[in-house]
Structure 1
Amino acid sequence: MQRKRDNPTYSIGGRTQRLTERRRVVVAEINLIVAAVDGPRLIVHLGFQRDVLTLYGVRMALDYDAIVKYISAQGGVSIVEIARMLDEQGIPSKGDLRLHWPYEPVVIWDGASEGLLDVLRQLIADERIELNNTQPLVYIIDGAALTLPMADIKSVERKHPYKTARWLPVVFNKR
């Protein structure tokens, strides 16, 4: 007597279902898109491999326009605020990368993820947004500041060749 094999189960929307042979054949990959109003899109890739439902990867689609709208409405937006917005969208902002601007060794942020650096580079290149220097107090109030020595904006404008990394605190404003 041959023993009947149990089919694996999967759950969608809190409802558990058995993974039948027919479902295994028909479904090779599913893309679920969950969109929130003025929010990010969550794209989940699911697939079936050896009778087991597996999660191949989760990728958050950045809502860049929401960040630009926020900067346009608020003005004086620090990198800490932008990092917080990315975290709220499910995109990690902390990492081990450093962004130099307008030249090396002038640093505008340290300890950033690739996702945060991509957004900051886009904002710097965006014609609707401008970058202005600010006081470190803005970052202290926002909850994070760098411990590097400060760069003087007049020296930066003259492209002073600093020998060590210097922090230039900046904010983003509508142009």
Structure 2
Amino acid sequence: MLTDAELTVLGLVVERPRHGYELDEVVEERGMRDWTALGFSSIYYVLGKLRDRGLIAEVAADRAHAKAKKTFTATDAGREACAQAAEAAIAELRPVHPPVLAGLANSPVVPPERLASALARRAEAVDARLAEVRRAAAAQPSAPSFVRAIFDYSISRLEAEAAWLAALPEGTP
């Protein structure tokens, strides 16, 4: 079983051999931090775990010095593990735990004016995030179809939440 962060890093290394800094650039460029907990420093930790499990290996290359960037490539076992984990992640409906649901479950204790304000702030944040994702998608018109699918999915979810928020009677969940 791979964590979301492990699957994300492994998938990027399966695409092509990469070093940690390049992985961080791709994660940032594709907006992957919006849907996986993968910070810059955790990329190196995940690479080490994947290497230790035999799913990736360092590319044998002449490095100018010991501190030069290590490039990793997927092993056959890594490609298979990635395929299996990706298939399961796509096919299985897994529970998610968005904090907004805990907030809504407890919204009766929030004074009405504060609840209305919180919902308005959420609507603004959703609109702003939707604009950011649309800009990121538009900036990559030649992205591979699987990257486009991620943007499309993210946009659809944000649009659905924006519509839900807009349909609420004012100040009530």
> Do these two structures clear the TM 0.5 threshold for a shared fold by scoring above it?
no
Structure 2-normalised TM-score?
0.27
The structure carrying a bigger strand percent of its residues is 1
If asked which structure has higher relative contact order (CA below 8 Å, sep 6+), I would say 2
